[in-house]
Amino acid sequence: MLEWKDGQPFSSRFGDVYFSTESGLEETRHVFLQGNELTRRFAVLHDGDSFCIGETGFGTGLNFLCAWQLFEQTAPPGASLDFFSTERFPIDDEDLRAALALWPALAAQAEALLASWKRRVPGWNRWHFADGRVRMTLAMEDVAQALPQLQPASVDAWFLDGFAPARNPEMWNEAVLAAVARASHEGTTLATYTSTGWVRRSLQAAGFEVKRVPGYGRKWEMTCGQFFAHSPASGRRVMPRSALVVGGGLAGCAVANALAQRGIQVTLIESAAQLASAASGNPRGILHARFGAGMNTLHRFVLAAYGHALALLDAVLPVDGVHRAECGLLQLAATDSEAKRIGKLATQEWPPHLLQVVDAEHASALAGLTMSHGGMWFPAGGWVVPTEVCARLAQHPNITLRLNSEVTTLERTANGWRARGEGFAIEAQQAVVCSAHQAKQLAQFAALPLQPVRGQISVLPATAASGMLKAVLCAEGYCAPALDGEHVAGATSAFDDDARDVRAADHAENIARLSAHMPALYQALGGAMPLSGRAGVRCSVPGAMPLVGEVEPGLYCSLAHGTRGLLTAGLAAEIIAAQMCGTVPPLPQDLLDVLAPLPRMRRQG
Ligand code: SAM
């Protein structure tokens, strides 16, 4: 637990301070920045280069903010910084705000970190700062679990910063230092405030050459080190200059944006006359993270994607009540299976900013209408207009849009890939296919078990009574609060049906679910008939885990997001961008392995 002692943050759990009480800022600069010679190393980077810092304990983020500030002051504008850190006991928003308020010189960076901090989820978090030049990957889990998931030889400099080794030995043990070594390459440096003998010896045993140097303030000594590997560094990360993206739905727009933000010239190719014209074209979509207490790989992915989607939307589509509302979302325990799932989740501890278990009375107060069931409340849930998300993502000077262009073949060229269709051929160094089940038309993806899933939503006229609904309600179906006198309710789900006609039977199904699970809302709607509807065809695969990653050298895909594209498209795009540029991925390796398309394609073939 974080306590305040003499105006400084102190951990009662570990009996130690978060940073030096003399001057945390100067100590950080001395120990971690100078200890790793970052001023010099940032200055010699080139445009397109990336530098990766790994840290063992994030704490208040002071080290991160100092490194970010130095990077902006010294690195060339086209270089980027990856900062990877772990934190098993994240502090709450108020404590973080109070701790960072101690450093007025870092006020701008602190404000940005605080905005992302409220989107934190258990597990891995990926946030962007400084217009994308600084990428944070924060694993909110035990250091011993997180570090071995890093790519080998991926870190250039380490900040070893747990509490004092005697009080917090699990941050300094052999397994952790072995994972630090595994993620290091020839020339990777480390710095730590401690000069404890057994830590130094463990670092030596792990392959670091270490030396004692003067510490900061009253601390006589600290430790610096350099990794000596038997094999040389894995080589400079090389960022491609150009990429083509096939498919202008959420998945494709997100990939185009992630690549463009890294300075890659992107051609975004869409067969229809506008972006988001297929499954991503519903008038409103809901931000709905559904997972169970077992937290299988799909659930872990969904949770990470939810946190990422909220932070991404904050950057591209801030809440405006017109294109996006953060009205909160209720998952109602309205069926036996939902009651069971929610009951199990209720036995676990969740950060209240993420989810809260509520009874029917509390649910009613949150919803603005009487609820017959309690459930789970997601305060940051809400709705967005997916077409607007796509439009904002695609609006980037490095993205060239090519509409009305159906790609029928993808072929390898001497320098990369060529996408061909009627009357056009577009070349780029890298290619990403994000065209849902249409990907099957391309030879490279023909064997994938992609399934079309038809889904119809219903637009219902609001009444004075239904207008009281304040939050998104979900059970087997969902209904969003009224906007311009209309609710959106959905959605049906029909596998292997790719027809897009709007059907009366599907409207009836959507309404029947409201009447069964949200009777007060159903009554408030007064039996009015749907004003309109829309059927979209989403793409899914058995097991529902999307296909994200490299398929052949330089050819990637982001496919099969099913009904979750609003959540998962952005995180999938980060995975692809990281793989393409050789930078830190936003998820642990075990999840990347499950998302990887290649093993699943081989199984099919
Ligand atoms: N770098 C921090 C800063 O700039 O404020 C200070 C880090 S503080 C000295 C050490 C941090 O390590 C604490 O936030 C603590 O919660 C975290 N920690 C302790 N044991 C951990 C573990 N086993 N796994 C991950 N984090 C841990």
What's the pLDDT tens digit per position in 528-586? 888 899 999 999 998 889 999 999 999 999 999 999 999 999 999 999 999 999 999 99
For residue 406, what pLDDT band results from cuts at 50, 70 and 90? very high
pLDDT tens-digit map of 466-522? 999 999 999 999 999 999 999 999 999 999 898 899 999 999 999 999 999 999 999
| pLDDT in the model for residue 285 | 95
In a domain? residue 459: yes
Establish whether residue 57 lines the binding site of ligand 1, counting it when its CB lies within 6 angstroms of any ligand atom.
yes
| pLDDT in the model for residue 231 | 60
In a domain? residue 324: no
In which region does residue 193 sit, left (phi positive, over 0), alpha (psi from -120 to 50) or beta (all else)? alpha
pLDDT at residue 370 tops 70: yes
CATH of the domain at 16: 3.40.50.150
CATH of the domain at 268: 3.50.50.60
**Residue where a domain stops, chosen among 540, 574, 594:** 540
Establish whether residue 54 lines the binding site of ligand 1, counting it when its CB lies within 6 angstroms of any ligand atom.
no
| pLDDT in the model for residue 213 | 94
| pLDDT in the model for residue 149 | 96
Which of 40-54, 154-168, 282-296 is predicted least confidently?
282-296
pLDDT tens-digit map of 300-309? 999 999 999 9
Residues 385-392, mean pLDDT to the nearest whole number: 97
Q: Are residues 106 and 151 in the same domain?
A: yes
| pLDDT in the model for residue 216 | 87
pLDDT at residue 277 tops 70: yes
Establish whether residue 63 lines the binding site of ligand 1, counting it when its CB lies within 6 angstroms of any ligand atom.
yes
Mutating to test ligand 1, I would choose from 26, 30, 55, 58 the residue with most ligand atoms within 8 A of its C-beta, which is 58
**Residue where a domain stops, chosen among 484, 510, 540:** 540
User: CA nearest 566: which of 179, 282, 175?
Assistant: 282
Mutating to test ligand 1, I would choose from 20, 168, 174 the residue with most ligand atoms within 8 A of its C-beta, which is 168
| pLDDT in the model for residue 598 | 87
pLDDT tens-digit map of 248-266? 999 999 999 999 999 999 9
For residue 38, what pLDDT band results from cuts at 50, 70 and 90? very high
In a domain? residue 536: yes
Q: Are residues 56 and 204 in the same domain?
A: yes
In a domain? residue 110: yes
Which residues are CB-contacts of 51 (< 8 A; sequence separation ≥ 6)? 41, 42, 45, 71, 75, 79, 80, 81, 82, 156, 157
Establish whether residue 18 lines the binding site of ligand 1, counting it when its CB lies within 6 angstroms of any ligand atom.
yes
| pLDDT in the model for residue 22 | 72
For residue 604, what pLDDT band results from cuts at 50, 70 and 90? low
| pLDDT in the model for residue 602 | 76
| pLDDT in the model for residue 251 | 98
* Angstrom distance (rounded) from CA 527 to CA 546: 38
In a domain? residue 321: no
* Number of domains, the chain: 3
* Cβ atoms 36, 188 nearer than 8 A: no
Which residues are CB-contacts of 247 (< 8 A; sequence separation ≥ 6)? 269, 270, 433, 434, 435, 436, 438, 439
**Residue where a domain stops, chosen among 540, 556, 582:** 540
CATH of the domain at 493: 3.30.9.10
| pLDDT in the model for residue 308 | 98
| pLDDT in the model for residue 258 | 98
Establish whether residue 59 lines the binding site of ligand 1, counting it when its CB lies within 6 angstroms of any ligand atom.
yes
Q: Are residues 417 and 561 in the same domain?
A: yes
- % of the chain at pLDDT higher than 70: 98
For residue 278, what pLDDT band results from cuts at 50, 70 and 90? confident
Q: Domain limits at 568?
A: 242-278+387-447+543-604
Establish whether residue 172 lines the binding site of ligand 1, counting it when its CB lies within 6 angstroms of any ligand atom.
no
Q: Are residues 8 and 97 in the same domain?
A: yes
Q: How far is the CA of 454 from the centre of ligand 1 (A)?
A: 47
- % of the chain at pLDDT higher than 90: 88
Longest dimension (CA), the chain: 78
Q: Are residues 165 and 124 in the same domain?
A: yes
| pLDDT in the model for residue 576 | 98
In a domain? residue 234: no
Q: Tell me the torsion sign for CA atoms 188, 194, 198, 201.
A: positive
pLDDT tens-digit map of 409-447? 999 999 999 999 999 999 999 999 999 999 999 999 998
* Cβ atoms 474, 286 nearer than 8 A: yes
Q: How far is the CA of 222 from the centre of ligand 1 (A)?
A: 18
pLDDT tens-digit map of 110-153? 999 999 999 999 999 999 999 999 999 999 999 999 999 999 99
For residue 281, what pLDDT band results from cuts at 50, 70 and 90? confident
Q: Are residues 18 and 96 in the same domain?
A: yes
Q: Are residues 270 and 214 in the same domain?
A: no
Q: Are residues 75 and 124 in the same domain?
A: yes
**Separation of CA 264 from chain center:** 20
Q: Are residues 440 and 336 in the same domain?
A: no
Q: Are residues 10 and 123 in the same domain?
A: yes
User: CA nearest 46: which of 237, 260, 209?
Assistant: 237
CA distances from 279 to 23, 387, 481 (A): 54, 10, 21
The residue whose CA is least distant from atom 17 of ligand 1 is: 57
Q: Are residues 536 and 549 in the same domain?
A: no
| pLDDT in the model for residue 230 | 65
H-state helical runs in 170-265: 174-182, 197-206, 250-261
Q: Are residues 522 and 408 in the same domain?
A: no
For residue 232, what pLDDT band results from cuts at 50, 70 and 90? low
Q: How far is the CA of 565 from the centre of ligand 1 (A)?
A: 34
Specify the DSSP element, H or E, that contains 411.
strand 409-412
In a domain? residue 427: yes
In a domain? residue 41: yes
For residue 234, what pLDDT band results from cuts at 50, 70 and 90? low
